[in-house]
Amino acid sequence: MALLARTNLTKIFIAQVYIKPFDDTIPDTKTQLAYPMSKRLYCPQCQFPLKVCLCESIIPIDNSTRLIVLQHPSEVRMAKNTVRLLQLSLARVDVFSGESAKDFASLQTLFQHSITNTAVLYPHEQSLPLEQHASIHNINTLIVIDGTWRKAYKIWQLNPWLWSLPSFHFEQAPNSNYQRVAKQPNSLSTLEATAYALSLIEQRNFQGLNQLQQARQQKGF
Ligand SMILES: [Zn+2]
């Protein structure tokens, strides 16, 4: 039955296929854009080109920790669609796009009063290893930054309100499939980092996100 349901779902997606309009306001950079100039058919669900649709690889996960993604605007149109994949996979995820403190004003207000059970995943000189956090299982909100190292650093620098929240890095990051692409030692993709952090916090398996990462890489993204 599950297989049948999935098949029907696929048909629905195909029936709804549309062509993303070309947005000529996007700068022509060397990075891969989600909106290339050519007219390609896209899956309306995962937003990948139809021939590399990842919907079959998405495993819904009922996470109890609220995931908040601070997404740098330059990531919004990136072909990897990380945030979209997180939204399709996780039951509790909120996305805020921006760079400056003003962009995240609503979040700042929220965290002025409730910081104790929040964790920011961002490595810096004062961050602590998440694996050794004594109250790790009390964390109910995890903040991650989606962007290149440079863009994530910019968000960190421009948002001092984040500095008042407990921040963490990984001491024993798992092997990454992403590393060879990132060409940076110990680097995890946002999907992998989220999976590892949530698995530590909730003491359960978030392997579905890693599998999705692998599926995405296999399809060249
Ligand atoms: Zn799809």
Q: pLDDT tens-digit profile of 198-219?
A: 999 999 999 999 999 999 999 8
The rounded Å distance from CA 44 to ligand 1 centre is 7
The answer to whether residue 87 sits within a structural domain is yes
pLDDT of residue 114: 66
Q: Compute, in angstroms, the gap from residue 96 CA to the centroid of ligand 1.
A: 23
Mean pLDDT of 2-21: 37
User: Is residue 86 within 8 Å of residue 212, measured between CB atoms?
Assistant: no
CA of 90 to the centre of ligand 1 (A): 16
pLDDT given for residue 133 in this prediction: 93
Higher pLDDT, 32 or 115: 115
* 119-171 tens-digit pLDDT: 999 999 999 999 999 999 999 999 999 988 899 999 999 999 999 999 999 99
Q: Residue 180: what pLDDT? A: 52
Contact 96, 173 (CB under 8 A): no
Q: Is residue 49 part of a domain?
A: no
| Strand partners for 94 | 68
Instruction: Render the burial of 100-126: b for 16+ CB within 10 Å, e for the rest.
Output: eeebbeebeeebeeeeeebbbbbeeee
Q: Is residue 76 part of a domain?
A: yes
Instruction: Compute the distance from residue 21 Cα to the ligand 1 centre, in Å.
Output: 18
* Higher-scoring residue by pLDDT: 26, 155: 155
pLDDT at position 57 over 60:
yes
Q: From the CA of 92, how far away is ligand 1's center (Å)?
A: 20
Residue 119 inside a domain? The answer is: yes
CA of 64 from ligand 1 middle (Å) equals 25
Q: Is residue 18 part of a domain?
A: yes
**Cα of 14 from ligand 1 centre, angstroms:** 9
Ligand 1 center to residue 104 CA distance, Å?
30
pLDDT of residue 53: 95
- What is the 54 CA–ligand 1 centroid distance (Å)? 5
**Is there a domain that residue 88 lies in?**
yes
Query: What local confidence, expressed as pLDDT, does residue 14 receive?
Result: 34
- Kindly give the distance from the C-alpha atom of residue 58 to the centroid of ligand 1, in angstroms, as a whole number: 9
40 or 204: whose pLDDT is higher? 204
The whole-angstrom separation of Cα 187 and Cα 114 is: 30
Q: Is 53 inside any structural domain? A: no
Residue 182: which pLDDT band, with cuts at 50, 70 and 90?
low
Residue range(s) defining the domain that contains residue 165: 3-25+58-218
Distance 112 CA to ligand 1 centre (A): 38
Answer with the residue of higher pLDDT: 5 or 79: 79
At 115, is the pLDDT very low, low, confident or very high (cuts 50, 70, 90)?
low
DSSP secondary structure letter of residue 33: B
pLDDT at position 184, please? 59
> Per the domain annotation, does 39 fall within a domain?
no
pLDDT at 20 over 60: no
Q: Give the residue-averaged pLDDT of 166-193.
A: 78
Per the CB < 8 A criterion, the answer to whether 190 and 146 are in contact is yes
Q: For residue 20, which phi and psi values (nearest 5 degrees)?
A: -70, 135
Amino acid 84: pLDDT: 94
Give residue 200's pLDDT: 96
pLDDT of residue 3: 38
Task: Report the number of distinct structural domains present in the chain.
Answer: 1
